[in-house]
Amino acid sequence: MPLLTTLAGDALNAYGFSRGAESAGAFELISTTILGSSATSVAFTSIPSTYKHLQIRASARTDRALGVDSFTLRLNSDSANNYYSHLLFGNGSAVTATSLGANNIIYAGRTTDSSNTANAFAQNLVDILDYALTTKNKTIRSLFGADTVGGYPWQGIHSGVWNSTAAITRIDVLPGVGPNFVTGSRFSLYGIKG
């Protein structure tokens, strides 16, 4: 019996960081939003289906007043309870593993908020795999960090699933509580070829 078997429908992609000059590559910018004023959400719309995977890179802060907020996603405007999330994170003293579902959003990371040190924003890097494939439910994985002196420090990894085989054409990024992302928050969407 081979140690490694391939199931039908599996995808295995490998990407390398180039050592040379810039060229036509596999990682392309689709859209960037930098907030000039507070906003209740940020939307990536009319997402082209020509890539293999998507990545969101965000630097975000909300106006909640707790010390931390959540960074969440809604796909194709589906607000039904079709999302499940799994969280593994550390808060500086303990590691927590938990799951959330069924929900009407995916919990993809954390943000800082108005109780945190001024000028402190949280990083969220979210990968959405096979987003245009109509034979798979959609999965995400994320790496995030919200270092918040005066609040709750958090960093960790999340995973999530949207129980739909529809190709993703729209992503709404929402604060968990908010109600708003604040000025300066930045959200960039990239397409990864495969």
Partner 1 sequence: MPAGVSAITPLANLTLGSAQATITFSSISQAYRDLILVVSPIATTTGNAGRLRLNGDTGSNYSWVQMYGDGTTAASSQSTSSTELIGLQSETTQTATVIHITDYSATTKHKSVLSRSNNTNAISTVVNQRWANTAAVTSISIYMTASTTYAAGSTFALYGVSA
Which CB atom, from 8 or from 21, has the smaller least distance to partner 1? Answer: 21
* Least distance to partner 1, CB of residue 62, Å: 15
* Least distance to partner 1, CB of residue 27, Å: 5
Is 165:8 a contact under the CB 8 Å cutoff?
no
The CA–CA distances, whole Å, from 140 to 38, 69, 97, 118, 134 equal 26, 19, 17, 30, 15
With H, G, I as helix, E, B as strand and everything else as coil, classify residue 95.
strand
Which CB atom, from 132 or from 146, has the smaller least distance to partner 1? Answer: 146
Positions that interact with partner 1 (CB under 8 A): 17-29, 32, 57-59, 88-95, 117, 119-123, 125, 143-147, 149, 153-157, 184, 186, 188, 190
The CA–CA distances, whole Å, from 194 to 26, 46, 54, 137, 187 equal 7, 20, 11, 18, 23
- Indicate the burial class of 157 (C-beta count within 10 angstroms; 0-12, 13-18, 19 or more): middle
* Least distance to partner 1, CB of residue 63, Å: 16
Residue type, position 27, single letter: F
Which CB atom, from 13 or from 165, has the smaller least distance to partner 1? Answer: 13
DSSP string for residues in 14-71: -----SSS--S-SEEEEEEEE-SS-BS-EEE-S--S-SSEEEEEEEEBB--SSS-EEE
* Least distance to partner 1, CB of residue 60, Å: 10
Which CB atom, from 88 or from 102, has the smaller least distance to partner 1? Answer: 88
* Least distance to partner 1, CB of residue 66, Å: 17
Which CB atom, from 132 or from 162, has the smaller least distance to partner 1? Answer: 132
